[in-house]
Chains A and B, each alone.
Chain A
């Protein structure tokens, strides 16, 4: 599968999201409380998921994050989407330091500017495909007719025009992931992040989903994390991570 080509314009070089000197540490287990400290329970050690990582995502480019399990791919995705904040360093989105925003404002920023595709789809079983796709528009206060129209249109674009009223339980894995892709795009985000988007799918289905993902992503910036080479093949460049650091040698520009 060929990488998206010929889409770059001058504004495509404008930084959309940037991680600068980002380190993310997690604590193994919970902090001891007063009683815990009284009984000599010590603070659990930290584990470093990312260390001093810098990466710039420009408009309209597709960036692949590669690397073995535990290398920090998902953590970097989460930081770029504002799902969590770095322990050190800064992450900016359209020039705004995400660390300076409240949780509520970061949630709003994701709603308006970031689409997310999960490995496990995370669709609501109680809603139809159209209901799932339209859900983010609820938060934006879009009218019902407009929600239905936009959701139906996106489902048609991912080839699910005959599955609009089906619930997730009535759809195959590939169809569910296409619904999730449509949902990620329904608010017309400037950045789409996808964490192992084909991880739950067989090879053939994965390729079909990727083709449609690439097609409907249009000129949006996409960051996707994957172990899977065919998935990474749609990227303009691939950044390899190893033990929480960017392996500069392995970063490939396609």
Chain B
């Protein structure tokens, strides 16, 4: 036979094997539907769990990006605390004084101490109190984004460290928290570090700000720093989680960082990315969980896909054995099986990828409702591509292996 004739014959065989693949799939619609459903679930498990892993890392990055600051000053560890659903430990004492000192350095534009405390919040002194994270800021507009309403009127209560200035009794909420508490601009809330303090301190909602809700990934109330210290009885030590530093526009961030570090060796001074890294390094369990989720998700997706396609092929073992007995070659059978794997994998993968975005949305709404975290699950192009790769790539490889085994199995074993 001439090479052209051989090629034509092979082409006809492949075409007919493709036809057999389609016929087998179309005839067993229930089996096809269940196999595709299985792949969809396997890929969704992969993309969604990987999305959770990515969300953990992405939320951390967003926290620091959202603050739009150049340097972060901490004293010791910056651990997330479990109390109240999140927030950092306030291990930097006398934050006002330290911030003022750092503000005098060359290249430093401004310094802002930032404190995150767990507080009790209720819509009235006799209502049920709930815990939220309160963010204390020492100035308003420069670091807080206002969606609606007005900014805080500064921090007059501090009054040069005397804490004798007028308390504004104003706060900002993120929209989610406002909805959750069923309050809007102009309404009042009782806020305090203890139940007693909360019953005594009434604050008015003056605006909506998403800044710290995005940064912490949890519902927050934002109030002037001195008033936060006042209602949490911390005016003596003025603790803060960070002092954030903005450098002059023409200043070299790394040079300013080095100067400040030399002048204040007792503190850790980091850039945005270093701070995120440091925070995450101290969250080994969180990171390990995120990585484990991704690895488990991918592993489970692969295992499910392989098992499913193996089963689909196994169900046809008798038919394939009969074909082989009649002289149909192992290669034709393998092509038929690979075709089935490719079609099932592609259908399952595409459907799963299309469902990923709405499922992420549903999960995020659910997470916001239950635990208060926004953007818990994130998706990205590599996640979609990974899901497709598992469904199509692994599906095809799994089918090929199953087909190869069918081709090698003695004919009479299944007849």
Contact = CB atoms under 8 A, between A and B. Distances in A.
B27 A111 contact: no
B412 A78 contact: yes
A109 B24 CA distance: 26
Interface residues of B, number: 29
A178 B28 CA distance: 24
Contacts of B330: 104, 107
B271 interface: no
A171 interface: no
A127 interface: yes
B322 interface: yes
Given A78-B412, A104-B329, A107-B329, A135 B323 contact: yes
B410 interface: yes
Contact of A118 (B23, B28, B322, B329): B322
A67 B10 CA distance: 43
B223 to A, nearest CB: 69
Contacts of B410: 84
Given A83-B412, A118-B415, A141-B9, A136 B326 contact: yes
Contact of B325 (A83, A112, A138): A83
Q: Name B's interface SS.
A: helix
Contacts of B16: 138, 144
A112 B412 CA distance: 19
A135 B319 contact: no
Contacts of B324: 107
Given A83-B411, A122-B415, A126-B28, A139 B23 contact: no
A36 B415 CA distance: 28
Contacts of B264: none
B401 to A, nearest CB: 19
A108 interface: yes
Given A108-B327, A111-B329, 7 more contacts: A110-B326, A111-B326, A115-B326, A138-B13, A138-B20, A139-B332, A141-B8
Interface of B: 8-10, 12-13, 16-17, 20, 23-24, 26-28, 318-319, 322-330, 332, 410-412, 415
19 contacts: A83-B325, A83-B411, A108-B329, A110-B325, A110-B326, A111-B326, A112-B327, A118-B415, A122-B325, A126-B28, A131-B23, A135-B326, A135-B328, A138-B13, A138-B16, A138-B17, A139-B329, A144-B12, A187-B327
